[in-house]
A and B are shown apart, each in its own frame.
Chain A
Amino acid sequence: MDCEALKEAVISGKFREIQALVRAALDRGASAQDILDNALVPAMEEVGRRFSASEIFLPEMMVSAKMMQMALDVLKPILSSGHVKTRGKFAIGTIKDDLHDIGKDIVISMMQGAGFEVEDLGVDCPPERFIEAIERGNRIIGISAILTTVLPNIGKAIKAIEEKGLRDKVKILIGGVATSFHIAKETGADSYCKDAVEGVLKTKEFSVLYEDN
């Protein structure tokens, strides 16, 4: 019952009430993991579905992602670190010579909402920054590009990852208005994501590959 109410609160964007609702559910005996698995994560999945279906608008999705963070702030001290199940590690950055951060930040919010551990590599990322992220254990990498003029830099970054012998250790997703299926093919990325919701879905698919690591 509590989980249903919480799920509904996240979906409908009642951000002023979320933390009190989470505390109330805990007081009534729900476990933190239960709240996460049966209320928050399914709520974000539903929000993503509605956004993809154009049933809700971007700010409505953003507020739900924000609420997920607010709920986690309450839950994290309770979830002993040994018991927190994260889905895997994901790192994302905007490609070299491009300073746009809004799309990247939307992806970060949605990935965190979906339970991934996310590393923000920032904007204007040279190839080395992606390489270092892979060396730190990130197995799925997102590259964002808004300017068409920076597209060659995506190919260069992926080439540099190959030359380091790391290409088969990661899946590389690209997104942002400058990108497309065609650009993914041309640059050697594994996949193109048309928006943050698709980014989350594809990351979930790819993360299955690394579940045992």
Chain B
Amino acid sequence: MLIVAERINSSRKRIANAISERDASFIQTEALVQAKAGSDYIDVNAGSFRDEAECLKWLVDVVQDVTDIPLCLDSANPDALSRVIPVVKKPPMINSINLKPSRLEPILPLVVDYKAKVIALCESESIMAATTDAKIDIAAGLVEKVTARGIPLDDLYIDPLIFPLATNSRSALASLEAIERIRKEFPGVHTICGLTNVSHGLPNRKLVNRTFLITALARGLDSAILDPSDKELYSALKAALIILGQDEYCLEYIHAYREGRLG
């Protein structure tokens, strides 16, 4: 199970303020809290800024000063990514590509050159795939484009896209079925997703997010973009992994318990 820690995102107001004011200690605290809670990658996003490349580079420098955990560069902008990636110390994850040539073509060489992992969204030039079949079609296209560049499937993380249940009661089901089929039809490829979209417009969102995560894990999801410092979420995740046979002798679960990380 691979965890990408999501909190350093400029769509959150406090993060945007910290970036504008170049408040390094605020960002570093966010990084350390997530590192301590259990992160494999720390996501950094400056997408709401016009000078995105400059802001993202600042985030990378500031976070790398306090932790060795590799970074997940979160940008849809190939230019910003190509300017920031040279200063990254460990092979990063790139978040993200889709099937749009204007995004895919300039970003894939960065994935190759920097031995990065890459998140690929089930989006094409014209659609954000909502049905299972559309998601699988785009996933097939992504697998083809990525492998054509010689990138190992193990470095590809396909995001099936998660849409709100509030406007379509079967949207989560389409994503869950896609996770299962991607795993079967493209062996070796990983699946990843964020959890917050699913609960948009509903009460008690965290309960829905966490239950969605567990359901998705049972269908084969093997990575997620989430807040590892959310204790209830993290505890549910650790418990699910022992149940699904992904934590031998339950050692990680017990370890997390001893460290006081289970709620």
Contacts and interface: CB of A to CB of B under 8 A. Distances in A.
Interface of A: 57-59, 62, 99-102, 105-106, 124, 147-149
25 contacts: A57-B166, A57-B201, A58-B164, A58-B166, A58-B167, A58-B200, A59-B165, A59-B166, A59-B167, A59-B169, A59-B201, A59-B202, A62-B166, A99-B123, A99-B128, A100-B128, A102-B164, A102-B167, A105-B167, A106-B167, A124-B126, A148-B47, A148-B48, A149-B76, A149-B77
A59 B48 CA distance: 29
B234 interface: no
Contact of A99 (B127, B164, B202): B127
A124 B200 CA distance: 23
B163 interface: yes
Given A99-B127, A124-B126, A58 B77 contact: no
Given A59-B166, A99-B127, A102-B167, A149 B47 contact: yes
Nearest to B163: A102
Contacts of A147: 76
Given A62-B167, A99-B126, A149-B76, A57 B48 contact: no
Interface string B45-63: 0011000000000000000
B167 A57 contact: no
B203 interface: yes
Given A59-B202, A100-B128, A102-B164, 18 more contacts: A57-B202, A57-B203, A58-B164, A58-B166, A58-B200, A58-B201, A59-B165, A59-B167, A59-B169, A59-B201, A99-B126, A99-B127, A99-B128, A106-B167, A124-B126, A148-B47, A149-B47, A149-B77
A140 B70 CA distance: 49
Contacts of A57: 166, 201-203
Contacts of B165: 59
A149 to B, nearest CB: 6
A147 B200 CA distance: 17
Nearest to B171: A102
Contacts of B163: 102
A106 B167 CA distance: 8
